[in-house]
């Protein structure tokens, strides 16, 4: 467990910590989304159980990012309900996420080029800052204590991601895998109860992917995780449950072993020759090596 695993000190947050073992459930029910009349999602339901890693897989264009975007308020569904910790989120907006205890990393990296690594991560910590880093950015006076606390949290997040040596660097000067770690640190620094990850392993080497898998399992001890990912070995290793989409429809759901054994899943992947050919191969060869 990294430094962020320690309970936050009582002054670091005005939000009381919820019972994570029972409360951090995200339920999406009957979600449909169409773009210009074309259905991207049709009546899809998915529940991320507290403390679990829920995988969302499917061939290119299946609707994974669309569902992910619904969960983080970037896409408003045409139908369906989103319930987080028992409360329906009716008009969810991305700006509300950190207050709700939800953090995300997007497909790609998305760091601010003009800010150092440390500053980028501090931006993600504003849930825990009384005055907020945005006001700090615009030089609105905030206390030195808040600033110091924010900095300490950001450094702890960088430490957990083994990115401390890069704190003073600018994102563009760093290798892509390091940038991805910084983006993850930025998501973790708000100490979320739900972490949404869209393709966190893209661009990583096998070793880095393995480390990411270990990290995600560690994180699930203190937060629920929704993981959109193409790398089937990683998904099968770290997920408790998996939902499979194809052409906007849910075609399978279950444990990694159940999903792997489902002929509909293999068929969906085999029908798609390009990017996912290796996924399909992995799907038929990888085994669930994790003890549960
Ligand atoms: N903003 C948008 N406007 C129009 N169509 C869109 C938009 N976003 C997604 N789509 C379409 O919705 C469908 C689902 O796309 P989505 O990006 O959710 O798939 P995905 O499963 O994330 O794919 P990938 O594995 O390539 O990331 C696709 O047909 C896509 O072209
Ligand atoms: Mg996508």
Mean pLDDT, rounded, for 55-71: 95
CB neighbours of residue 172 within 10 Å: 9
pLDDT tens string 197-240? 999 998 889 999 999 999 999 999 999 999 999 898 999 999 99
The answer to whether 56 and 83 are in contact (CB under 8 A) is: no
Q: What is the CATH number of the domain that holds 289?
A: 3.40.50.300
Q: Are residues 34 and 167 in the same domain?
A: no
Q: Which of 146, 170, 191 is the last residue of a domain?
A: 191
Please report whether residue 283 resides in a domain. Answer: yes
Own/partner pairs, 161-164, CB within 8 angstroms, 24+ separation: 161/185, 161/188, 161/215, 163/117
**What b/e sequence results for 213-250 when a residue is b if at least 16 CB atoms lie within 10 Å of its CB, and e otherwise?**
bebbbebbebbbbbbbbbbbbbbbbbbbbbbbbbbbbb
pLDDT tens string 76-85? 999 999 999 9
Q: Are residues 85 and 215 in the same domain?
A: yes
For the CA of 228, the closest atom of ligand 1 is: 22
Report d(CA 105, CA 226) in Å as an integer.
Answer: 11
Q: Are residues 207 and 287 in the same domain?
A: yes
Q: Are residues 207 and 97 in the same domain?
A: yes
Please report whether residue 16 resides in a domain. Answer: no
**155 alpha carbon to ligand 2 midpoint, in Å?**
30
Q: Are residues 243 and 266 in the same domain?
A: yes
pLDDT tens string 95-138? 888 889 999 988 777 788 889 999 999 887 665 444 445 554 55
Q: Report the nearest-CA residue for atom 7 of ligand 1.
A: 35
Q: Look at residue 266 in the predicted model and tell me its pLDDT.
A: 87
Q: Which of 159, 191, 223 is the last residue of a domain?
A: 191
pTM of the model: 0.83
Is residue 65 within 6 Å of ligand 1 at its C-beta? yes
Is residue 176 within 6 Å of ligand 1 at its C-beta? no
Domain of 285 in residue numbering reads as 1-7+21-101+192-292
**62 alpha carbon to ligand 2 midpoint, in Å?**
8
Q: Which of 141, 171, 191 is the last residue of a domain?
A: 191
Please report whether residue 215 resides in a domain. Answer: yes
Q: Are residues 179 and 242 in the same domain?
A: no
Q: Are residues 95 and 197 in the same domain?
A: yes
pLDDT tens string 38-54? 999 999 999 999 999 99
Choose the residue to mutate in 41, 59, 62, 277 for probing ligand 1, maximizing ligand atoms within 8 Å of C-beta: 62
The answer to whether 117 and 63 are in contact (CB under 8 A) is: no
pLDDT tens string 151-193? 898 999 999 999 999 999 999 999 998 999 999 999 998 889 9
For the CA of 107, the closest atom of ligand 1 is: 27
pLDDT tens string 244-255? 999 999 999 999
Is residue 61 within 6 Å of ligand 1 at its C-beta? yes
Phi and psi, residue 250, nearest 5°: -80, 120
Q: Look at residue 279 in the predicted model and tell me its pLDDT.
A: 59
- Confidence category of residue 262, pLDDT binned at 50, 70, 90: very high
Q: Considering only 56-60, 70-74, 202-206, 270-274, which range has the smallest mean pLDDT?
A: 270-274
Choose the residue to mutate in 63, 68, 71, 198 for probing ligand 1, maximizing ligand atoms within 8 Å of C-beta: 63
Q: Are residues 221 and 87 in the same domain?
A: yes
Cα separations in angstroms, 279 against 12, 34, 39: 42, 27, 24
Please report whether residue 12 resides in a domain. Answer: no
Q: Are residues 97 and 198 in the same domain?
A: yes
> Which ligand is closest to the CA of 231, given by its number?
1
Q: Are residues 96 and 167 in the same domain?
A: no
**Domains: count for the chain:** 2
Is residue 62 within 6 Å of ligand 1 at its C-beta? yes
């Amino acid at each position: 467990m990294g430094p962020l695993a320690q309970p936050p000190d009582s002054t670091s947050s005005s939000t009381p910590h919820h019972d994570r073992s029972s409360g951090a459930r995200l339920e999406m029910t009957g979600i449909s989304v169409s773009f210009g009349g074309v259905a991207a999602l049709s009546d899809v339901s998915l529940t991320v159980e507290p403390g679990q890693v829920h995988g969302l897989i499917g061939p290119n264009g299946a609707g994974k990012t669309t569902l992910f975007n619904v969960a983080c308020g970037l896409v408003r569904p045409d139908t369906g309900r989103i319930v987080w910790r028992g409360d329906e989120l009716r008009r969810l907006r991305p700006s509300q996420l950190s207050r709700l205890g939800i953090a995300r990393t997007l497909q790609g990296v998305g760091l601010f080029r003009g800010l150092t690594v440390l500053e980028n991560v501090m931006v993600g910590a504003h849930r825990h800052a009384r005055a907020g880093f945005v006001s700090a950015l615009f030089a609105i006076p905030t206390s030195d204590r808040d600033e110091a606390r924010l900095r300490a949290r950001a450094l702890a997040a960088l430490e957990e991601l083994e990115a401390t040596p890069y704190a003073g660097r600018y994102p563009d000067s760093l290798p892509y895998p390091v940038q991805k770690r910084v983006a993850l640190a930025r998501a973790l620094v708000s100490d979320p109860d739900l972490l949404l990850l869209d393709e966190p392993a893209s661009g990583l080497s096998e070793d880095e992917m393995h480390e990411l898998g270990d990290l995600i399992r560690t994180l699930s001890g203190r937060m629920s995780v929704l993981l959109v990912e193409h790398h089937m070995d990683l998904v099968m290793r770290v997920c408790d449950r998996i939902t499979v989409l194809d052409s906007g429809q849910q075609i399978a759901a279950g444990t990694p072993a159940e999903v792997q054994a489902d002929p509909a899943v293999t068929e969906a992947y085999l029908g798609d020759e390009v990017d996912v050919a290796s996924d399909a191969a992995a799907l038929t060869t990888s085994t669930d090596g994790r003890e549960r």
